Amino acid sequence: MNVEIKANERVDDLGRNGYRIIQNPDRFCFGMDAVLLSDFAKVKPGDRVLDLCTGTGIIPILMEAKWEAFSYKALEIQEDSAEMARRSVALNHLEEKIEIVTGDVKEADNLFEVNSFHAVTCNPPYMIGQHGLTNPDSPKAIARHEILCTLEDIIRQSARMLIQGGSLYMVHRPFRLAEIMTTLVRYKLEPKRMQLVYPYIDKEPNMVLIQATKGGKSRITIEKPLIVYEKPGIYTEEILKIYGMAK
């Protein structure tokens, strides 16, 4: 099967199982946050997984390379991104494992069966509102700012989608941690694991990885900090391992 590569698109090697992904730098390219989330999330053979705000499908493709889940559904509101994700799925011959659905996160419970997923993953827009945006309709703005969905939309729908005992895995920004935790608890998603990500050992964290379990008991494990760089341009051994580049 020949997969079309359109103008301004490129094909990037993911370094896992020979998988590749189609990206357009003019729209949005995945970052380290997606890679770290795909490593932080844990699923078992036979699990059904839903990825919200999937963009070009990077998280389900990376997770399929690592975990033997039964199936992956992925939801994306921007049709151009969803269509690109479908071509990446086809490029890797994963059509029987990964399904890309075009739709709104706020309507996930109308698009999928409720209480049916063992895990939900999400790399959501981090920034609140449209402050400072020159073009709020651009694909990059929609991916980065809460223009079409909010943190509460994502958590509410994740709670609807998960089976009892299923988990939401999310990457976000530490400056919103209090809001994240209180919203999770309000929707009966109990925070169970958390890991802060630091660009350098002497800098403030700029990412947080969270697992919250539906109906879980009140007990959280704080994992050791993840440091990205030893020095400028040099990844730590742990980051190299996550990327499959460790010696």
- Kindly indicate whether the domain formed by 10-242 is annotated with CATH number 3.30.70.20: no
Per-residue pLDDT tens for 12-43? Answer: 999 899 999 999 998 888 999 999 999 999 99
Task: Output the pLDDT for position 214.
Answer: 98
**pTM, entire model:** 0.94
pLDDT band per the 50, 70, 90 thresholds, residue 137? low
Per-residue pLDDT tens for 186-218? Answer: 999 999 999 999 999 999 999 999 999 999 999
Domain coordinates in residue numbering, the chain:
10-242
Give the span between the Cα atoms of 81 and 87, in whole angstroms: 10
Task: Name the more confident of 144 and 86.
Answer: 86
Radius of gyration of the chain, Cα coordinates, nearest whole angstrom? 17
The yes-or-no verdict on residue 130 having pLDDT over 80 is no
Residues 100-120 have a mean pLDDT of 97
What b/e sequence results for 49-84 when a residue is b if at least 16 CB atoms lie within 10 Å of its CB, and e otherwise? bbbbbbbbbbbbbbbbbebebebbbbbbbbeebbbb
Contact indicator for 168, 212 with CB cutoff of 8 Å = yes
With 0-12 CB in 10 A as exposed, 13-18 as middle and 19+ as buried, what is 163? middle
CA distances for 183 relative to 53, 73, 125, 159, 190, angstroms:
18, 24, 16, 11, 10
pLDDT band per the 50, 70, 90 thresholds, residue 136? low
Q: Kindly report the backbone phi and psi dihedral angles of residue 119, in degrees, each rounded to the nearest multiple of 5, phi listed first.
A: -145, 145
Task: Tell me what percent of the residues of the chain surpass a pLDDT of 90.
Answer: 83
The yes-or-no verdict on residue 54 having pLDDT over 70 is yes
